């Protein structure tokens, strides 16, 4: 038996907090009866649960790590008919990506059908590191890299402090490879950070998400997360508040 709001969140419909609001507003039914009290426990497999008149799916939770290729949309569908991340997973459950990677950005992305798990990882108060490797135009100076490290001012505010490492440079081609570790997830943030210091990104890959990496994978590869990895991610999301 589990709390009703947790079962709703795990179905991927909404966050647990929003589920609590829906319950108190009388928009949730269990076995045909409206439930307004928080804390009611249900059997996710046997009880019939409806949210705003729609029965929820009670799928077994699944968790995947994917090496997203460049030119793939981080979504479950695309109006323009372009490839999306879920095209690479052939399972019965309806999964969705946790967060986003730009169309032109490759690298590690997680997918699940567990809405509560996804909301935990994406919550801005938890500092989960994401490691990017960027090929940029020009060779950033030490002062410019320091700006990235200290945070740069973008149109939506100053970025949080980051870890920065100059991996290599090509003086002839005037390009550089820079590793950037951040824990925020703003739209196109890494690209905008490099643009802010005058070194636009030519190629970008997310190599690591917390302790997970794609070193042994190729673009398009997908693997299930191990139970211990899911457990560790849950612990990180609970124990690393900012």
Task: Say if residue 157's pLDDT is above 90.
Answer: yes
Quote the pLDDT of residue 239.
59
pLDDT (0 to 100) of residue 8? 84
Predicted confidence (pLDDT) per residue in 200-216, tens digit = 999 999 999 999 999 99
User: pLDDT tens-digit profile of 175-205?
Assistant: 999 999 999 888 899 999 999 999 999 999 9
Calculate mean pLDDT across residues 80-87.
Answer: 93
> Would you name the residues annotated as active-site residues?
102
Span 102-130, mean pLDDT? 89
pLDDT of residue 233: 93
Q: Mean pLDDT of all residues in the chain?
A: 91
Q: What is the pLDDT of residue 156?
A: 92
pLDDT for residue 242: 44
Q: What is the percent of the chain with per-residue pLDDT over 90, rounded to a whole number?
A: 66
Return all residues near 216 (Cβ < 8 A) that are at least 6 apart: none
- What pLDDT sits at residue 148? 96
pLDDT for the residue numbered 12? 67
pLDDT class of 241 with cuts at 50, 70, 90: very low
């Amino acid at each position: 038996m589990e709390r009703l709001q947790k079962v709703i969140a795990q179905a991927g419909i909404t966050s647990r907090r929003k589920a609590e609001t829906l319950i108190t507003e009388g928009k949730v039914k269990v076995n045909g009866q409206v439930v307004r009290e928080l804390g009611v426990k249900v059997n996710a497999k046997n009880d019939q649960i409806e949210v705003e008149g729609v029965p929820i799916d009670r799928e077994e939770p699944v968790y995947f790590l994917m090496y997203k290729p460049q030119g793939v949309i981080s979504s479950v569908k695309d109006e323009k008919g372009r490839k999306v991340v879920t095209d690479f997973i052939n399972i019965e459950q309806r999964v969705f990506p946790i967060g986003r990677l730009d169309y032109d950005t490759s690298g590690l992305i997680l997918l699940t059908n567990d809405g509560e798990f996804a909301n935990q990882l994406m919550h801005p108060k938890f500092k989960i590191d994401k490691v990017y490797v960027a090929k940029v135009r020009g060779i950033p100076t030490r002062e410019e890299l320091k700006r990235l490290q200290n945070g740069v001012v973008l149109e939506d505010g100053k970025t949080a402090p980051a870890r920065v490492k100059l991996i290599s440079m090509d003086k002839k081609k005037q390009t550089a490879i820079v590793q950037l570790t951040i824990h925020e997830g703003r739209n196109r943030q890494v690209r905008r950070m490099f643009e802010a210091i005058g070194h636009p990104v030519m190629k970008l890959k997310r190599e690591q998400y917390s302790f997970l990496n794609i070193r042994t994978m190729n673009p398009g590869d997908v693997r299930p997360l191990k139970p211990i990895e899911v457990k560790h991610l849950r612990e990180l999301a609970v124990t690393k508040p900012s």
